[in-house]
Amino acid sequence: MFETIVIADVVSTIFYTILALVLLWVSWKVINWMSPFSIIKEIEEDQNTSLAILIGSVFIAMSIIIAAVLLS
């Protein structure tokens, strides 16, 4: 009924979590670098809701892709 916790599984989970977060951070830096305007300024100061939704959906899509790659 109860499974024992294997240290290798815990370590691999932590490693892949950190790897996924680093990949998301790198992709954010690339998106920010490629855009011709300041994304943060547009979202925070100019209240550009459509840009915030677009960036959020891009992050969701990247998270799904990274999770699929790491689980394969």
Token couple for 72: 């394969």
The answer on pLDDT for 2 being more than 70 is no
Token couple for 66: 């990274």
Could you tell me if residue 36 is inside a domain? yes
Could you tell me if residue 18 is inside a domain? yes
Short-list 31, 52, 56, CA closest to 43: 52
Could you tell me if residue 34 is inside a domain? yes
Instruction: Kindly report, residue by residue over 6-61, the tens digit of the pLDDT.
Output: 888 888 888 988 988 898 899 889 989 999 999 999 999 999 999 999 999 988 99
Could you tell me if residue 1 is inside a domain? no
Structural domain range at position 49: 7-71
Could you tell me if residue 37 is inside a domain? yes
Distance, CA of 35 to CA of 48 (rounded, Å): 15
**Structurally, how many domains does the chain consist of?**
1
Could you tell me if residue 2 is inside a domain? no
Distance, CA of 28 to CA of 13 (rounded, Å): 23
